[in-house]
Structure 1
Amino acid sequence: MRQYIVDAFTEEVFTGNPAAVCFPDRWPEDALMRRIAMENNLSETAFVVQEADGLHIRWFTPGGEIDLCGHATLASAYVYFQFVDPAAEQVTFQSLSGPLTVTREGSLLAMDFPAYALAPTEVTEDMAAVLGVRPREAWLGRDLLCILDRAEDVTALRPDLGKALDLPGLLLLVTAPGEGEFDCVSRSFAPKLRVDEDPVCGSGHCHIVPYWAERLRKDQLTACQASPRGGTLYCRRMGDRVRLAGYAALFSRGEILTEP
């Protein structure tokens, strides 16, 4: 089984968010995909299989399958354009979140993703205890989105991820207004999926972009993920969809010797 490791939302390896991308000839058993994801020990391993109606993609964290993943989709598109169909300008993956189209825009890869609907939720003492700072707002979609006042508060976070297991939402997203070229800054934590910090979270920005587009009254945003690895997303709100664009860099390619 071919496997590639791609750093997403960056132009250089060792930064951005690494994803493993596998292109098996047919679907492995779910248990094997989970074990491969655990063996890779990255935040996501994507599996892409050609079926009669097109390409299908599934994403696995070390803690199991997830319904949507941005950086591993970007990585999968990068591999597709580089090694499967170099002449293609666009690719569509069928997924648990519907069809996801990725388009080449020069060196950028732009993804068309669904936006999550956000509902306000009470800021609790548990949230403050996890973050070490009290959010000024909290919103709930698939993930919990906590709003802080300053970019430096996001950068300085050392959350208690054990306590975060008891918070609502699948991931814990923390964001604040950006500085300089960036409209917003964020970090993403996923202890429920056995991922302490997701270095650059595409699906998290399906929450973050709608929030900041509304607050800043602008549809085009440049977003900074302020994890230790760091990454940049070029975003646009499009009604109930979001465009997430970024660069990608190939780290490795190889072969998994355990076949489906």
Structure 2
Amino acid sequence: MLYYVIDAFTDTKFGGNPAGVVIHDDLDEKFMQKFAAEVRFSETAFIKKFNNKMFEIKFFTPTSQVELCGHATIASFKALLDSRDVENNNTYYIKTLAGTLSVTLDQSIIMMEQAEPKLGKVFDDFECLSDLFNIDKSQIESENYNLVPQAASTGLWDIMLPIKTKDALYALNPDFKALAEFSKSNNVGGVHAFTLDTKEGIAESRNFCPLYGIDEEAATGTSNGALTYYLFSNHVLWNFNKEYTFLQGYSMGRPSTIITKLVNKENPRVMVGGNAIIVTKGILY
């Protein structure tokens, strides 16, 4: 079985978000969970090939299985390119706990379809949120748009938390234990804090998911997919089949670039993707 460490959403080693990837024939989930806890990446992906077009991918954090993971999917297809199980300029399908989704490879840029986009509960208790993140509540919302914190999903639920300035975004200092309890009680994975106060890209973000053993992630494809739909629903974005760029990980010293695209105007869906680079490759015994 091949085992990889791959940095996703970057073309530079030690940038982006690292993921473990295992290409296997028949591992059980108990082993997968133990292995994910051993290597301790935010997510490790386990790929099983069904045929030349269909793969099953299971995603594990160090503590639990999750339905979908964007950066680990990007890493998975970088590994499959290396193992010659897939080819450039083709479309493939992955079976996940979030459903069967398409993945397209175009000149080594990997774009994955997200699950059906949804908006959920609005979180208007700014006092509670400001306490969780140790910021002044006046920094929540946006300077130029009427944005409020709200749960959104394109496969995993996160709270989209608008922050007025980049300085305030970088100053977030979560109480991780309290945030994990807050996430669990509200049936979300975590909080995707973002600001539109950026000269590059649409937004810069930070993602916090202590409920699943991940205090902060350098790049989260599903969360930026959900953010794309949230911004579309709030009339910040409106163009279909146009690539949007989102930044993440800069506050962690792991700069990441996530590309998203709105498709199918009649029934909107979101594509998320980017590049990836192999850091190491070996054999899992």
Q: TM-score, normalised by structure 2?
A: 0.84
Gaps of 5+ in 1: none
Q: Return the offset for 1:119.
A: 2.6
Whether the 8 Å CA contact 1:115–1:207 is kept in 2: the answer is no
How many residues were matched structurally? 256
What's 1:151 paired with?
A: 166
Q: Return the offset for 1:101.
A: 1.9
What's 2:248 paired with?
A: 225
Whether the 8 Å CA contact 2:149–2:159 is kept in 1: the answer is yes
What's 1:165 paired with?
A: 180
Which whole-Å CA distance do the structure 2 matches of 1:144 and 1:166 have between them?
Answer: 14
Gaps of 5+ in 2: 142-147
Which whole-Å CA distance do the structure 2 matches of 1:75 and 1:122 have between them?
Answer: 33
- Residue 244 of structure 2 corresponds to residue 236 of structure 1: no
Q: How does 1:90-239 map to 2 (within 5 A)?
A: 90-124=91-125, 125-133=127-135, 134=137, 135-136=140-141, 137-141=148-152, 142-167=157-182, 168=186, 169-214=188-233, 215-219=235-239, 220=242, 221-226=244-249, 227-228=251-252, 229-238=254-263, 239=267
Quote the sequence identity (%). 26
CA gap 1:249/1:102 in 2 versus in 1, 3 angstroms: same
CA gap 1:170/1:86 in 2 versus in 1, 3 angstroms: closer
Q: How does 1:74-89 map to 2 (within 5 A)?
A: 74-85=74-85, 87-88=87-88, 89=90
Range moving further from structure 2, 138-147 or 217-226 = 217-226
The amino acid across from 2:245 in the alignment is: T
What's 1:42 paired with?
A: 41
**Secondary structure of 1:251's partner?**
strand
**Secondary structure of 1:203's partner?**
helix
- RMSD value over aligned CA atoms? 1.8
Whether the 8 Å CA contact 2:258–2:273 is kept in 1: the answer is yes
Which whole-Å CA distance do the structure 1 matches of 2:50 and 2:166 have between them?
Answer: 44
The amino acid across from 2:34 in the alignment is: R
The amino acid across from 2:161 in the alignment is: C
**Secondary structure of 1:100's partner?**
strand
Q: Return the offset for 1:249.
A: 0.4
